[in-house]
Amino acid sequence: MFNKIREIHDAFDRKTLSSEELTHSYLSAIRSSQHNAYLTVCEEEALAQARAADLRIAKEGKVPRTTAPLLGIPLGIKDIFTIDGIRTTCASKMLDQYVPPYTATCVSRLESAGAVILGKTNMDEFAMGGSNENSAYGPVKHPTHSERVPGGSSGGSGTAVGAHLCVAALGTDTGGSIRLPASYCGIIGIKPTYGRVSRYGLVAFASSLDQAGPMTHSVEDAAILLDVMSGHDPLDSTSSFQPVTRCFEATQQQPNWSRLRIGVPKEYMIGGLAPDVESSIQASLKWFESQGAKLVPISLPHTQYSVAVYYIIAVSEASSNLARFDGVRFGTRPSHFQNDLLSFYKKVRSGFGPEVKRRIILGTFSLSAGYAEAYYQRACQVRRLIRQDFEQAFRDVDFIAGAVSPTTAFKLGEKSSDPLQMYLNDIFTIPANLAGLPAMSVPCGKDREGLPIGLHLIAPWFAEENLVGVASAFEKARG
């Protein structure tokens, strides 16, 4: 089975493969999979889209790659994006039977580019988690090591790509939820600059942090999806007016290595790094140096506060956003309850899972009278200092490099009883979200057990083209 968009389109052009055949093969693989990567499979809709793609290819004689760069390409969509007429659960019993009447902007843009939507992928409930063990519909398994986690919250999308259950997938990243599963699963994952991709139709976890992005087998494919998804959306007030990216073109060019300066933060080379992770990152940095890039030691002094800041801001925004799930506007309405409002709300809100409840409680406390200034306001002030650290660093360097995670994928259940250890797993990814920066995970090696390791690259705001250009060159050279 082909894994990359260019290979698939070449096969379409040669008439050796059709989108319908390809879609059938993925649907068959999903049915027989034990990974629990999908929550809803859109078999009829996917086959209809595939047939429409084949008709267009037959009419035009070949794939119109400029106007329909995703024509006939089967994708998985994280179940946090709404699709008109398709069940959207956010992996929560709270939304078990919710069918939205509208489609998220980034999904509609993928469909307009010809994509085939295979279904909705599993995730941590309301995107709250780093292992994909918090889904109300059961955990997702790692694509190659079934006893391990795929990372979260976009673990279903990560496993769907890594286990060849789609060509590419759409995920969201609030504190590392694209990059962490990409690293664990050995695939590409990009978190764009905040505002680069519309959040309309993305069920909100933390509105100032959430961002949609692609998860793929290659940097080139991620660039294609990102080009399609990017651009201003009048339906999203946080959407940027920056020009649409031209990331695909950047992947076809060789970087000017002699002019590149790559920052290596001392805070990212901590003693807690697993030995195999540290050696792979060091080898990757030496490769950049061998190409002519200059490695520059830098400091991001407020990194030490990033996890604490994130888990105040994120849970506070989550508490506010999830207040709408009250059984009246959204949420499952109980069939039996005592005839008073309090018992009704208790019954409805008990539908959340343990991790979601934990974060709502923490967020409500952080925003409560007498504590908001001490916690939430102070966290926002430190967030600004974290952003200023990056502003200072990017005066001297073009990129920042390090590890995505201190370790490779851990075993299912290994950290479930210790939320703090789970939260610390995002220590390297969180700062980019707090600052709104574009960042990505690129496979750079494996540990002694064959588990993938991801290299973390961070670029200045709206510099996705430069980011994918360097990542593509690294990917091609490393094989």
Q: Which residues are catalytic?
A: 78, 153, 177
What 3 state SS string does 35-101 have? CCCEEEECHHHHHHHHHHHHHHHHHHCCCCCCCCCCCCCEEEEECCECECCECCCCCCHHHCCCCCC
- Quickly count: other Cβ atoms within 10 Å of residue 323's Cβ: 13
Task: Give yes or no for a contact between 440 and 467, defined as CB atoms under 8 angstroms apart.
Answer: yes
Instruction: Compute and round to an integer the Cα radius of gyration of the chain.
Output: 21
Task: Give yes or no for a contact between 433 and 176, defined as CB atoms under 8 angstroms apart.
Answer: yes
**What is the Cα–Cα distance from 373 to 213, expressed in whole angstroms?**
33
**What is the Cα–Cα distance from 168 to 359, expressed in whole angstroms?**
30
**What is the Cα–Cα distance from 104 to 415, expressed in whole angstroms?**
33
Helix (H, G, I), strand (E, B) or coil at 247: helix
What is the token pair recorded at 308? Answer: 């604490």
**What is the Cα–Cα distance from 64 to 71, expressed in whole angstroms?**
8
Q: 437-462 burial string, b = 16+ CB within 10 Å, else e?
A: bbbbbbbbbebeeebbbbbbbbbbbb
**What is the Cα–Cα distance from 332 to 349, expressed in whole angstroms?**
9
What is the token pair recorded at 135? Answer: 């889904």
